Amino acid sequence: MMDINLNSDINISDSYAITYIADNSFFKKKQKGTVVMQDFGVVKSVNERAYLITIDNKNGMSVDLSTIGATIVAIRVPDKNGKLVDVVQGYKSAESYTDYKVGHAGGTIGPCANRIDNGIFELNGKKYELEKNGNGGKVHSHGASAGLDIKNWKYELIKNGVKFTYVKKDGEGNYPANVTIDVSYILTDNNELITKYEASSDEDTILNLTNHSYFNLDGEENTEEGAVLNHIVQFPMSDKFTVTNENGIPTGELRSVENTPYDFRQGAKVKDKINSDYQPLIQTNGFDQNYCINGYNGKKLIDIANVKSEKTGIKMTVSTNLPGFQFYTANSLKPQPAGKCGKQYKKRSSLCIEPQFYPNAINTPNFEKPILKKGSKFNREIVYKFDTEK
C-alpha cells in the first residue's frame, strides 16, 4: 500500500463516502454510499501507480474498477439465496494485466476492438499500418500491444460511479489523431452497471470501443474447463451473424442463424450447441462470432443478450446501442497468473458478450464504419443488468 495525496488524486463526489485504504490509514467522509480505494500495483511502462476503486448500491451489489485499462475487475451480485457472488473473472494486481496474456480480461478495448485484416486500413486517402498481433501475425486485434486495456487511465469519482479518461496521442499504435476518451461506469439501485463511452478527436480517426469481461454467473471461482457450458444463453434480437474466413475476418456475408448452432433466439444451454458439426463453429474451436442486432439505429438501447445460471439463479441482461456483439466462449486462454480466487481460469470457464462495430468494418463494404470525425462526438453505451430467478 502507499500514501496518497487526497487533494490532488481524488475528485470527491458529494454522493459518496470515500475510504482510501493505505498503510492502515484511511480518509472517510460520511455521505450516502461508499467508495473504497486501494493501491493496485505499478504500471511499469509509465512507472505509475494503479488504483482499484470499489462502488456499491443499496442492494449490496458492488463493482471493482481499476485505472489499469478502465477495467472491470469484479462484479458481486446477490444470488437466489441472497448470497453475494462475484460473476467476473479478474486478477489481483495491475502487473497481472500487463505482464501476462490474460485475454484483455475486463478491459476497455480499443482504439479499434476486434480484428482488422492485415492490420491495414485507409482513411481520407491515407494508408495506415497497425501492429499485427493476431492469427499468426495476419490481423490487428484489440489495439494490440498499445491497446487501451493496458494504459493507466485518469479517474474522477462521479455520482454513483467513476469516470476514467485517457488521451490517445496522434500516432500512438499508428492510429491517427489525438483522441480524448471517457469511460464512465454508473451503478444503479436497479442492479444495472451502465457503461458510457464518450470521445472526441482533433482529426478523423477510427474508434471502436467495447468491454471484454469474462462472465461466469455460477461464480468466478468456477475455473475448471467447461465451467460455463451449463449457462443458458438467449440472443432475442439477432437473426444473422457475420461469416468469417480462417483469420476471423468477415467475408461480407450476413448469414441467417436459422438451422445453425448460432441460433440462440429462443435460448439454449451453451453445451447443447458448442460442439456441433458446423464449419464456422469448428473453425473457431467454439463460439467466437459477431452477431448482428435487429432494429439497430445507433441511438436506442436494445436488449441483445440474456444469460442465466441455474445454479445461482443469477440472470444478466446486456443492452447496447452498438450494431453488433462478439460472443466468445474463452476457447483459447493463454498461460496466465492465478485469478482472484487463487486458481487459473481454464478454457471455456467463462463467456464474453462484447457489443461493438463489426470486425474489420473499416475495410468491408456495406458495414457501418467506426469513423470518428474531427469535431464530432462518440457516444455509445453498454448496460449489464442483474436479476435473480429461482
Averaged pLDDT of the chain:
92
Predicted confidence (pLDDT) at residue 4 exceeds the cutoff of 90? no
* Terminal-to-terminal C-alpha distance of the chain: 41
Q: How many residues does the chain have?
A: 390
Tens digit of each residue's pLDDT (9 = 90 or more) over 129-149? 999 999 999 999 999 998 999
Tens digit of each residue's pLDDT (9 = 90 or more) over 7-21? 234 333 333 444 444
Q: Using CA atoms, how far apart are residues 68 and 22, in angstroms rounded to an integer? A: 18
Predicted confidence (pLDDT) at residue 215 exceeds the cutoff of 60? yes
Contacts of residue 333, Cβ cutoff 8 Å, sequence gap at least 6: 103, 345, 346, 347
- The C-alpha cell at 201 is 478527436
Tens digit of each residue's pLDDT (9 = 90 or more) over 234-292? 999 999 999 999 999 999 999 999 999 999 999 999 999 999 999 999 999 999 999 99
Residues with a known catalytic role: 212, 354
Instruction: Identify the burial level of 48 via C-beta atoms within 10 angstroms of its C-beta, where 0-12 means exposed, 13-18 middle and 19 or more buried.
Output: middle
DSSP reduced 3-state for 6? helix
At residue 222, what are phi and psi to the nearest 5 degrees?
-85, 85
> pLDDT grade, residue 73 (50/70/90)?
very high
- Domain 6-388, classified CATH 3.40.50.720, yes or no: no
Tens digit of each residue's pLDDT (9 = 90 or more) over 332-378? 887 789 999 999 999 999 999 999 999 999 999 999 999 999 999 99
Of all residues in the chain, the percent with pLDDT exceeding 90 is 88
Provide the pLDDT for residue 96: 96
CA dihedral 301, 287, 225, 89 (to 10 degrees): -30
On whether the CB atoms of residues 242 and 290 are closer than 8 A, the answer is: yes
Give residue limits of the domains in the chain: 6-388
On whether the CB atoms of residues 185 and 158 are closer than 8 A, the answer is: no
CA atoms within 13 A on the CB side of 270: 26
Q: Using CA atoms, how far apart are residues 357 and 129, in angstroms rounded to an integer? A: 20
Helix or strand run (H / E) with residue 379: strand 377-388
Q: Using CA atoms, how far apart are residues 141 and 122, in angstroms rounded to an integer? A: 17
